[in-house]
């Protein structure tokens, strides 16, 4: 059996309230909502072409270090 590990998620209280409300409307736990969002986000990224971003979309090195 797969042993699940904890992962602390730092999220603002306002966003967390919105997530709890959305999870409740969808009949999901807050944890399941986050898990589904991560899985769906990764699936979308898998569909993206493996090319460098356009110059206007690139994040500067200074911003990446934040």
For residue range 22-58, list pLDDT tens digits in order: 999 999 999 999 999 999 999 999 998 998 888 888 7
Q: How far are the Cα atoms of 14, 41, 56 from residue 5, in angstroms, in the given order?
A: 25, 21, 38
The answer to whether 23 and 29 have CB atoms below 8 angstroms apart is yes
Q: Which residues contact 9 (CB under 8 A, 6 or more apart)?
A: 34
The number of angstroms, rounded, from the C-alpha of 19 to the middle of its chain's C-alpha atoms is 12
pTM above 0.75, yes or no: no
The answer to whether 32 and 23 have CB atoms below 8 angstroms apart is yes
The answer to whether 20 and 32 have CB atoms below 8 angstroms apart is no
pLDDT band per the 50, 70, 90 thresholds, residue 66: low
């Amino acid at each position: 059996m797969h042993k699940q590990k904890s992962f602390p998620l730092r999220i603002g209280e306002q966003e967390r309230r919105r997530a709890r409300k959305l999870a409740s409307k969808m009949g999901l736990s807050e944890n399941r909502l986050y898990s589904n969002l991560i899985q769906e986000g990764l699936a979308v990224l898998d569909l993206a072409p493996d090319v460098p971003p356009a110059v206007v979309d690139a994040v500067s090195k200074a911003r990446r270090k934040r």
